[in-house]
A and B are shown apart, each in its own frame.
Chain A
C-alpha cells in the first residue's frame, strides 16, 4: 500500500496514534476514512480521548458517530416492524453482518454505517417469507425477466426488496454463497447453530465462528471492493473480541472445515493480520483446513492488497484499476460456471452500453 494510506491503517491498529497526527495527516485520513465508510469507526475508537484531537477533526468524527447512532436506532425500529411481519413464518430468521452487529451490539457495531438489512432464512421458507414481506409492504425493485431468473435460479438471495413507505432495503438470503458457486457450503448448519436474540424475538444471529466465516466469505467472494477495508475492520473487531477465549480458535478451524469455508477464512486471517495486525495465534493460517499454494498466494496478495486501498483516489496506483477488475472477474468466476458466466457477462456489458 502507498505510504500515503498508512496513517489510516495505523489509526485503525493503534487508535492512540491518532492523538499524534498532525493537521496534514488528518486532512488525508478523514477523507480516506469517509470514502471507506470508516469515519464513524475512527470516532468510536477515539471517543475516549477526543479532547486530544484537533477540534475541527473531532467535529467530523463526532458527526459520523451521530449518523451511525441514528442508523442503529433506525435498524432496531425496523427489526421490530419486520419481526411483526415475519411472525407467522417458520424456522429461524438469522440477521447477517451489519444488522446482526447492530441488533446484538457486537464489537463491529461501534460507529458502523450500513445501507441494508440482510436476512438468512431456510430455503423451504423462502416463498412464505417473501409472501409475508409483500403483505407488509415490501416490494421487489423492477427487474426484467433475465434479472429475475438470475436471482431466483442462480443466486443465494431474492432480488433486493424495499419497503414502500420506510424506504429501507432488505436482502433475503437462503444461502451465503450462490447456488451456482463452485464452493458449496451448508447454510442449514448456520441456521441450526444460530443464537436467538431475546430483545428481538423473531430473530437470531450466527454463532461467533459463523459470524467470522460469513463475513470472510462475503468479503472474499464479492466483486465489490468499495467497502473492502471496512469489512476487514469488521473481521478484525470480531476476531479481537472472540479470540480472547482460547477455545475459540480451534472451534473456528473446525467450523470452517465443516462448512467448507477454509479458503475464505485463510484470506481473512492473512489480511487481517497483515493490514490490521489482528492478534491471531501464530501459525493459525498453517492450520487452516484449506490453503492456496505459494503462487496463488502471491498472485492474490498482488490483487487484494491494492484492492483494500482502492476506495480513495489518493491510495490508488496504476495497478489498482486492473487489480479491482481482476477481482471482479474472479468473484464472477467463483460465482458461476463458465457456461453461465460468459453469456451473463456479455449480457451485462451490452446492457450497460444501452443505459
Chain B
C-alpha cells in the first residue's frame, strides 16, 4: 500500500525529513532533507496527497536548512542545496518553505532538458488543456488558483512541461504560488482554499502557496493534450472577453519565455511549432473571477 505524505504522523514526518523524505511530483522524485519546522508545516498543509517512495532512483537530492556560522543563530538564515551545490544566496530562516518551492523549480527548470519547458501555468478540463503564459502581474496565478478550485485539473502553475516524445503536457500538480493581493483575492472568493504560511518581504513580495486539489494530485501521471493558449490580463472593470492572438506572436512569446527553447535547438522549434499549430491562441481580459470562470468553461465545452 503506497503511502501519502498526509498519512505520516508529525513525528514520523520530521524523522523522515531528517534522513530524506522521498516525494514524488509528476515524473520527478525529490529526496528532501530538512530540519526546518516551517518546511515540515508547509509540507503537511500543501502536500498531503503526494505519494512517498522508498529507495531507488531519485531525480534530485535537495536540502533546505539553516546555514552554518553566526547567521545560524543571529538573525538566522537558511539556504537550499542541490546535492552539495547551493545555487542561491541565503534567505531569512522563516522563508524556508518558499525557498524549497523555488529550489524545486530551479532543479526542474535547470536540468529537465528532456522536456520543452515553458514559463506558463497549465490546467485541463474535459480532456483539453489550456496553457496560460503570463507576464508577472498579469493575474495568471490568481486565475490558475480560481480554475483549480472550480473543477479544473491543475497540471502546473509555473513550469509547463511538454514531452519531447509525444508533445503532450506532463503534470507536476505542485502547489500554486500566490503573490501579494492575489492571496486575499483567492481567500475571499474561495473561503475553503487551503493556503500555507505567508512569507513577507521576499524578492517576489509577499508569497503564500495554495494546496493543489486532491484529484489533480491523484491524476499526476495522466498527460494532457493542449487545446488553447490564453494570455490573461487583469484590468479593473474590464468585461471578460477573449480575442484572437496571432499564432506567430504566440510562437515568439513561447520561444522567448521558455526555459530551454534555444537549448533544445531544432527539437525546441519543432515542439513549439507543433504546440502552436494544435492550439487556438487568445488574449483574455477580465476583472471578475466568476466571469472568467464562465468564459473558460465555454472554451472547453
Can you give 11 A-B contacts (C-beta < 8 A)?
A24-B56, A27-B57, A35-B84, A35-B85, A56-B57, A59-B27, A59-B112, A60-B59, A63-B114, A66-B114, A66-B264
Would you call A62 an interface residue if the criterion is a C-beta within 8 Å of the partner chain's C-beta atoms? Answer: yes
Digitize B83-126: 1 where CB-to-A-CB distance is under 8 Å, 0 elsewhere: 11100000000000000000000000001111000000000000
**Which of B57, B262, B267 is A57 in contact with, Cβ under 8 Å?**
B57
Asked whether, in the complex, the Cβ of B58 is within 8 Å of the Cβ of A66, the reply is no
Asked whether, in the complex, the Cβ of A23 is within 8 Å of the Cβ of B57, the reply is yes
User: A31-B61, A70-B265 are known contacts. Are A313 and B113 too (CB-CB below 8 A)?
Assistant: no
Asked whether, in the complex, the Cβ of A70 is within 8 Å of the Cβ of B263, the reply is yes
Asked whether, in the complex, the Cβ of A56 is within 8 Å of the Cβ of B27, the reply is yes
Query: Which A residues fall within an 8 A CB radius of B?
Result: 23-24, 26-27, 30-31, 34-35, 54, 56-57, 59-60, 62-64, 66-67, 69-70, 73, 312-313
Would you call B55 an interface residue if the criterion is a C-beta within 8 Å of the partner chain's C-beta atoms? Answer: yes
Asked whether, in the complex, the Cβ of A66 is within 8 Å of the Cβ of B61, the reply is no
Q: Which B residues touch A56, using CB under 8 A?
A: 27, 29, 57, 59
CB-nearest residue of chain B to A69? B265
User: A23-B55, A23-B57, A26-B57 are known contacts. Are A60 and B111 too (CB-CB below 8 A)?
Assistant: yes
Asked whether, in the complex, the Cβ of A63 is within 8 Å of the Cβ of B29, the reply is no
Q: Which A residues touch B264, using CB under 8 A?
A: 66, 70
Quote the shortest CB–CB distance from B76 to chain A (angstroms). Answer: 23
Bound together, the chains give a CA A34 to CA B82 distance in angstroms of: 11
Quote the shortest CB–CB distance from A258 to chain B (angstroms). Answer: 42
Asked whether, in the complex, the Cβ of A63 is within 8 Å of the Cβ of B265, the reply is no
Query: Which B residues fall within an 8 A CB radius of A?
Result: 27, 29, 55-59, 61, 83-85, 111-114, 262-265, 267
- A-B contact sample (9 more), CB < 8 A, given A27-B57, A63-B112: A24-B56, A26-B57, A56-B27, A59-B27, A59-B112, A60-B114, A63-B113, A63-B114, A70-B264
Asked whether, in the complex, the Cβ of A59 is within 8 Å of the Cβ of B114, the reply is yes
CB-nearest residue of chain A to B111? A63
Bound together, the chains give a CA A56 to CA B114 distance in angstroms of: 10
Asked whether, in the complex, the Cβ of A66 is within 8 Å of the Cβ of B56, the reply is no
Bound together, the chains give a CA A274 to CA B27 distance in angstroms of: 39
Asked whether, in the complex, the Cβ of B57 is within 8 Å of the Cβ of A30, the reply is yes
Q: Which B residues touch A67, using CB under 8 A?
A: 113, 263
Closest 3 interchain pairs by CB?
Answer: A63-B113, A23-B56, A59-B114
Bound together, the chains give a CA A35 to CA B85 distance in angstroms of: 9
Asked whether, in the complex, the Cβ of A73 is within 8 Å of the Cβ of B265, the reply is yes
Quote the shortest CB–CB distance from B226 to chain A (angstroms). Answer: 21
Quote the shortest CB–CB distance from B61 to chain A (angstroms). Answer: 6
Bound together, the chains give a CA A294 to CA B264 distance in angstroms of: 51
Bound together, the chains give a CA A67 to CA B260 distance in angstroms of: 10
Quote the shortest CB–CB distance from B164 to chain A (angstroms). Answer: 9
Bound together, the chains give a CA A57 to CA B58 distance in angstroms of: 9
Bound together, the chains give a CA A66 to CA B59 distance in angstroms of: 17
Quote the shortest CB–CB distance from A268 to chain B (angstroms). Answer: 28
Asked whether, in the complex, the Cβ of B83 is within 8 Å of the Cβ of A35, the reply is yes
Bound together, the chains give a CA A70 to CA B267 distance in angstroms of: 11
Quote the shortest CB–CB distance from B188 to chain A (angstroms). Answer: 41
Q: Which B residues touch A59, using CB under 8 A?
A: 27, 112, 114
Bound together, the chains give a CA A100 to CA B59 distance in angstroms of: 33
Q: Which A residues touch B56, using CB under 8 A?
A: 23-24, 27
Bound together, the chains give a CA A70 to CA B261 distance in angstroms of: 11
Q: Which A residues touch B84, using CB under 8 A?
A: 35, 312-313
Asked whether, in the complex, the Cβ of B55 is within 8 Å of the Cβ of A24, the reply is yes
Bound together, the chains give a CA A26 to CA B114 distance in angstroms of: 18
Asked whether, in the complex, the Cβ of B58 is within 8 Å of the Cβ of A34, the reply is no
**Which of A27, A64, A73, A312 is B58 in contact with, Cβ under 8 Å?**
A27
Asked whether, in the complex, the Cβ of A31 is within 8 Å of the Cβ of B83, the reply is yes
Q: Which A residues touch B58, using CB under 8 A?
A: 27
Quote the shortest CB–CB distance from A274 to chain B (angstroms). Answer: 26
Bound together, the chains give a CA A26 to CA B57 distance in angstroms of: 6
Bound together, the chains give a CA A24 to CA B31 distance in angstroms of: 13
CB-nearest residue of chain A to B61? A31
Q: Which A residues touch B29, using CB under 8 A?
A: 56
Q: Which B residues touch A312, using CB under 8 A?
A: 83-84
CB-nearest residue of chain B to A29? B57
Bound together, the chains give a CA A97 to CA B108 distance in angstroms of: 30
Bound together, the chains give a CA A67 to CA B104 distance in angstroms of: 20
Bound together, the chains give a CA A63 to CA B117 distance in angstroms of: 12
Bound together, the chains give a CA A26 to CA B29 distance in angstroms of: 13
Bound together, the chains give a CA A312 to CA B55 distance in angstroms of: 20
Bound together, the chains give a CA A247 to CA B104 distance in angstroms of: 53
Quote the shortest CB–CB distance from A7 to chain B (angstroms). Answer: 13
CB-nearest residue of chain A to B113? A63
Quote the shortest CB–CB distance from A30 to chain B (angstroms). Answer: 7
CB-nearest residue of chain B to A65? B113
Quote the shortest CB–CB distance from B13 to chain A (angstroms). Answer: 22
Q: Which B residues touch A23, using CB under 8 A?
A: 55-57
Query: Which of B29, B58, B262, B267 counts the most chain A CB atoms within 10 A?
Result: B58
Quote the shortest CB–CB distance from A227 to chain B (angstroms). Answer: 14
Bound together, the chains give a CA A225 to CA B62 distance in angstroms of: 24
Q: Which B residues touch A63, using CB under 8 A?
A: 111-114
Q: Which B residues touch A27, using CB under 8 A?
A: 56-58
Q: Which A residues touch B59, using CB under 8 A?
A: 56, 60
